[in-house]
Amino acid sequence: MKKIFNPTASEWPEILKRPTQTIEDIEETVTQIFSEVKQKGDAAVAKYTELFDGVKPINARVSMGEVDNAALEVSADLKKAIKLAKTNIEKFHAAQRTARVEVTTSKGVKCWQEKRPIQKIGLYIPGGSAPLFSTILMLAAPAALAGCKEIVLCTPPDKEGNVHPAILYTAQLCGITSIFKIGGIQAIAAMTFGTESVPKVYKIFGPGNQFVTVAKQLATRFSVAIDMPAGPSELLVVADDSANASFVASDLLSQAEHGADSQVILVSASRGLMDEVEKEIEIQLEELPRKEIAKKAIANSKLIYLEDQEAALELINEYAPEHFIIAAENEQFYSEGIYNAGSVFIGNYTPESAGDYASGTNHTLPTNAYARQYSGVNLDSFMTAITFQKISEEGIREIGPSIELMAEAEGLQAHKNAVSLRLEKLKRNK
């Protein structure tokens, strides 16, 4: 990891750059695949599944037999762990329910807001080098709580054309029956347009690589919403001498192993801690099965020494990390001062892994500085808020003249007439 000492604010933009390709490098490929899937449906999906996943055309829909067999391959201990995580995720997201909001804004004018589930949603679950069955819990559990009627799940097959058993087991546990062996750009395109096999959805959720991220953004041009433009994983730790260097190193590596394009950063005012963490990373790295992937991510990562904690907090807000760990004695300063972060983990015994799996919070979070304007997935992500109003005769008399004046000032005569006709009728009926 590159060490940087007391960088000035003018240097931060360069130091905090993500190791990502530009959209221009990817968009041409995504646009081409979208166009083919729109025109040719399942045939185009099969073509790109063979090209990218090395699997010749197969029946993309997962059969119930495959789901049942997968359940037999998942150990009892793992099933128990998945169920525990599901329970905690459901508890946290169920607590996010809000009641109908109702107010009388003027005499005879009643306004209220009610939430409704999005009827058709699509879930994208990465399944290549790391089968993220935990992401199913993060998306399907709140979707079910919200009351979404149709849930479509796409995940890439392995070289034998199969889906990881834990993905299928978790999907079944969450009540998902429409599961497709489709990955990458072609999965997002299939859910965007619909094919002979895959239903069209209204909103697409789920993390992925840079190609999936750009594909989701392209989907928004075709009247499909997305959860957020989430790309490669990232983590920032702020730590002082009260932190445990081995814990910090393990947290940094936990995100580095996600992918070669991931990025992790340590910010500290302790040179000694930075040195210890650097040594721990080297030791722990050698034991990781995904060592080569993590090494590439570590090469993209930084150890930043900043003496001033106000400057450190400002830099962290500038970076807007997906995951933010506070391993510092003055944790309140950072927890109250953070505005731009996807999810925050406080204290030496709160690893980022807890949020990834079983604490109950959602791990589908904004990356690439999108935490400045996007929230992580939550219960409201699966709902729309509809406003209602009911105006009585007294109410239209109360606010009608103001509406007439405003409409006339904007030059919208029909708007004014819609009120004037009603007011005139009420005058005649007196």
Residue stretches of the annotated binding site for NAD(+): 124, 186, 209
Asked if 363 is an active-site residue, the reply is no
Q: Which residues are within 8 A (CB) of 370 and not within 5 positions of it... i.e. 6 or more apart? A: 228, 229, 230, 320
Residue with tokens 């069209």: 200
Strand partners, 111: 103, 389
How far is it, in rounded angstroms, from Cα 244 to Cα 61?
A: 47
Amino acid making up residue 151: I
Please tell me which residue in 322, 394, 398, 408 is annotated as part of the active site. Answer: 322
Place of tokens 């690439």: 368
Number of other residues whose CB lies within 10 A of the CB of residue 245: 21
8 A C-beta contact, residue 196 and residue 42 = yes
Please give the annotated binding residues, written as ranges.
Answer: 124, 186, 209, 233, 255, 258, 323, 356, 410, 415
For the chain, what is the radius of gyration of the CA atoms? Answer: 25
Residue 28 is among the residues annotated as catalytic for this protein: no
Report which of 403, 398, 397, 406 is spatially closest to residue 424, judged by C-alpha positions.
Answer: 397
Determine the angle formed by the axes of helices 210-219 and 23-40, rounding to 10 degrees. Answer: 60
* Cβ(216)–Cβ(188) below 8 Å: yes
Q: State whether residue 271 is helix, strand or coil.
A: helix
Q: What's the rounded Cα separation, in Å, for the pair 231 and 366?
A: 8
Closest listed residue to residue 247, CA positions, set 212, 272, 215, 284: 284
The binding site for Zn(2+) consists of 255, 258, 356, 415
What is the C-alpha to C-alpha distance for residues 310 and 316, in angstroms, rounded to an integer? 10
Closest CA to 55 of 186, 147, 145: 186
Catalytic residue among 323, 329, 331, 393: 323
Cα–Cα distance for residue pair 54/293, rounded to 1 Å: 21
Angle between helices 413-428 and 393-409 (to 10 degrees): 150
Among left, alpha and beta (phi > 0; psi -120 to 50; other), residue 368 is left
Q: Which residues are catalytic?
A: 322-323
